[in-house]
Amino acid sequence: MTRFEDIKAFAFDVDGVFTDGLVLAMPDGDLLRQFNSKDCYSVRTAVNNGYPCAIITGGVSQSLLHRSRSLGVEDRHLYMLSKDKAEDFLHYCRSVGLDPAQVAFVGDDIPDIPAIRLAGLGVCPADAVAEVREAADFVSGFNGGRGCIRDLVERVLKSQGQWKFDPKDPWKGGHPEAITKFAKLTGRNTQ
């Protein structure tokens, strides 16, 4: 089994991992999700410290694209409408030049199992379905949308001496232009 010290990149499902699994369907067809700010902070910290991150989800929405950019996930590492998560996970690993053994994957439901098994560290939240908990190398003590991602990322970065925050270093993330303009007007440090 891969240890936290061996992980060089992360890949995450969204619904049930970044969120508690509930979605709000809007009249225009977009789906609204609640993301845990502590989970998101850990992903931005990982990206700022040089860890590539991907989102591999069966879901799709404009808001998900904006959220992934704000986390520092490159557009090429956002896999929406993913039906074969194993294939997308392997594509992601190749695109960042890493062996799957060096990448953690976090999922919570049946479609995530193949990627969990391929990953060097297959992870799931405490409230994942039973089959996923059985397939995972590490079951977080936290539920999806309630700290599972923070738990994993913090453990990995701390094990490698990379859990650090430099307030002088701008966030590496692609925020929507209107937000970036506003931040610059208010003197915030954005790229």
CATH, residue 132: 3.40.50.1000
Question: Which regions in the chain score pLDDT beneath 70?
Answer: 1-2, 170-191
The type of residue at 112 is D
| Number of domains, the chain | 1
Identify whether 187 is part of a domain.
Answer: no
Phi, psi of 26 (to 5 degrees): -90, 160
Q: Give dist(CA 22, CA 145) in Å, integer.
A: 10
> For residue 156, what pLDDT is reported?
97
Q: Give dist(CA 4, CA 153) in Å, integer.
A: 9
Identify whether 14 is part of a domain.
Answer: yes
Strand partners, 55: 12, 78
> For residue 172, what pLDDT is reported?
60
Identify whether 181 is part of a domain.
Answer: no
Give the 3-state secondary structure of the chain. Answer: CCCHHHCCEEEECCCCCCCCCCCEECCCCCEECCCCHHHHHHHHHHHHCCCCEEEECCCCCHHHHHHHHHCCCCHHHEECCCCCHHHHHHHHHHHCCCCHHHEEEECCCHHHHHHHHHCCEEEECCCCCHHHHHHCCEECCCCCCCCHHHHHHHHHHHHCCCCCCCCCCCCCCCCCHHHHHHHHHCCCCCC
pTM of the model: 0.86
> For residue 170, what pLDDT is reported?
64
> For residue 2, what pLDDT is reported?
60
Identify whether 81 is part of a domain.
Answer: yes
Q: Which domain holds residue 151?
A: 4-165
Q: Give dist(CA 148, CA 20) in Å, integer.
A: 10
Q: Give dist(CA 142, CA 62) in Å, integer.
A: 27
